[in-house]
Amino acid sequence: MAERPTITVIGAGMVGTCCALYLQNEGFAVTLLDRGGPGEEASSGNLGGFGVASCPPMAMPGVLRKVPGMLLDEEAPLRIRLRHAPRALPWFLRFAANARRGRVEANAAARQSLLDRAHEGIDPLVAEAGAGRLMRRTGLMFTFESEAAFRGAAYAFDLRRRNGVRMDLLDGNEARQVQPALSQSVVRAWRVADFSHTLDPLRLVQALAELFRQRGGAFRRTVVHGFELDDEDRVRAVHTGDGRHPVERVVVAAGVWSRKLAAMLGSRVPLEAERGYHAMFNGTDVKMNGGIISVDRHIAVTPMLDGIRAGGIAEFAPPEAPPDPAIARRVRRHATALFPALGSERITEWMGPRPSHPDSKPVIGRSPRRRNAWFAFGHDHLGLTMGGITGKLVSELVAGKTPSVDLTPFRPDRF
């Protein structure tokens, strides 16, 4: 009996773990590498929503007017640490270019091409892992506390509708019929009824990683320092904290750390750490029926297994920089304004870096420089949502099949 072909996946978050599982489906013997445990980086702090209504990219028309606020306004939804601004300038120049209407429309359509297949990718894995208990399909509401905010968001919601997202418009009272604990300040809401969330993103990724192990997959907790390359444009080995590991094929799915790894393989990608914050209200008595995204406050609030999680407010800073406690306090303040009864004697806080490209699209494809390497990173807020379908697409590429989604918009060399 012939030995199975082998492949090494770097990164054990939602994306990397799903890549590993789908590669197993294609008959590969898979080794999964990560510096932490499965799901312990950005995946663990995720707000839990499977964002199938999230086609609008971050760069939208008019964003240039907001750049000064990103630097100077402490209440801005996007923050840039001043010391990091010079390093991030090339990224923001590309970001501004992507705010032109034509690019916004194209980027939104490309994102939706993956979002439309999100459940096709993740649901079979969740079912096989026996993790259905961690999933709920209870809907999502985008709330507005002023008519001005509602009008200002019209283009983004028209973009959603034109890309096939089904939504119902509610007034404030109708929104509170769905979410009784919601503030009286909410005057309008768009509701997406067909929307799922997980009650615990970390436990979900851990359940998928356990399925990977049960199928015979190997997991190594180690840091990848570099690659050994040959003269035929191939990766021969991965150098890690515990030595040299020969490889036949390799997938880079290491989130924000992928920028450095891709550069070692000859590809320079404009990947920035967009750091997200959350506050977990453990054991709160407030009950929620599905998730909320406050358009005015730029936060999301989701019911979890152990309480309610609120998060948002993106910060551009080096991934290893210490958290800004003022941002965490803002998240808590906005969450309690949206849900006045929300409180807990055990509030925990978290910060983690998410990998973002200036066009809000991931990189999914073969390395332009190394024939036996593939990339799967840069999903910004949507790693949880797109993890399953990304894993399926990567496995199709590695197996030599025609991908089930057109991957042209996600080419590694598009920059």
Q: Which CATH number is 334's domain given? A: 3.30.9.10
Return the half-sphere exposure (C-beta side, CA atoms, 13 A cut-off) of residue 378: 27
Last residue of a domain, one of 356, 378, 397: 356
Does residue 214 sit within a domain?
A: yes
Q: Give the number of domains in the chain.
A: 2
Mean pLDDT computed over 22-42: 96
Examine the domain organization and report whether 308 and 393 are in the same domain.
no
What is residue 204's predicted lDDT score, i.e. its pLDDT? Answer: 98
Cα 246 to Cα 229, 250, 253, 413, distances in angstroms: 11, 10, 18, 26
Kindly report the three-state secondary structure assignment for every residue of 42-84: HHHHCCCECCCCCCCCCCCCCHHHHHHHHHHCCCCCEEECHHH
pLDDT average, residue stretch 159-174: 98
Say what the pLDDT of residue 8 is. Answer: 98
pLDDT at 83: 85
> Which of 70-79, 89-98, 197-206, 276-285 is predicted least confidently?
70-79
**What integer pLDDT is reported at residue 206 of this predicted model?**
98
> Rounded to whole angstroms, what are the CA distances from 259 to 136, 248, 313, 342?
34, 22, 23, 39
239 occurs within a structural domain: yes
What's the rounded Cα separation, in Å, for the pair 391 and 105?
A: 25
Asked whether residue 285 falls in the same domain as residue 169, the answer is yes
CA dihedral defined by 123, 391, 257, 60, rounded to 10 degrees?
-70
Read off the pLDDT band of 81 (50, 70, 90): confident
Encode 180-191: b = buried (16+ Cβ within 10 Å), e = exposed: ebbbeebbbbbb
Task: Report, as an integer, the average pLDDT of 226-245.
Answer: 94
pLDDT digits (tens, 9 = 90+) for 125-166: 999 999 999 999 999 999 999 999 999 999 999 999 999 999
How much is the mean pLDDT over the chain?
A: 94
Amino acid present at 191: R
Q: Check whether residue 349 and residue 316 sit in a common domain.
A: yes
* Structure confidence at residue 39 (pLDDT): 96
Cα dihedral 191, 47, 15, 127 sign: negative
| Predicted local confidence at residue 69, as pLDDT | 61
Q: How confident is the model at residue 296 (pLDDT cuts 50, 70, 90)?
A: very high
Torsions phi, psi of 305, nearest 5? -60, -40
In this structure, is residue 114 part of a structural domain?
A: no
What average pLDDT does this structure show over 204-217?
A: 98
For residue 106, being part of any structural domain is answered with: no
Considering the domain architecture, whether residues 22 and 80 belong to the same structural domain is answered as no
As a whole number, mean pLDDT of residues 201-213 equals 98
The verdict on 378 and 314 lying in the same domain is no
Q: Same structural domain for residues 83 and 164?
A: yes
> Cβ–Cβ contacts within 10 Å for residue 67, how many?
16
Residues 149 and 93 both lie in one domain: yes
**What is the residue range of 96's domain?**
52-100+134-196+271-356
Band (pLDDT 50/70/90 cuts) for residue 67 is low
Distance CA 109, CA 106 (A): 5
Q: Are residues 250 and 366 in the same domain?
A: yes
| Whether the predicted pLDDT of 258 surpasses 90 | yes
Provide mean pLDDT across the span 48-77: 80
38-44 average pLDDT score: 92
Picking from 207, 248, 212, the residue whose alpha carbon sits closest to that of residue 24 is: 212
Domain annotation covers residue 294:
yes
Looking at residue 65, what is its pLDDT?
Answer: 73
Query: Look-up: residue for tokens 């690659």?
Result: 227
Residue 118 domain flag: no
Confidence band of 349 (pLDDT split at 50, 70, 90): very high
Mean pLDDT of 377-403: 97
CATH number (domain holding residue 398): 3.50.50.60
Query: For residue 2, is pLDDT > 70?
Result: no
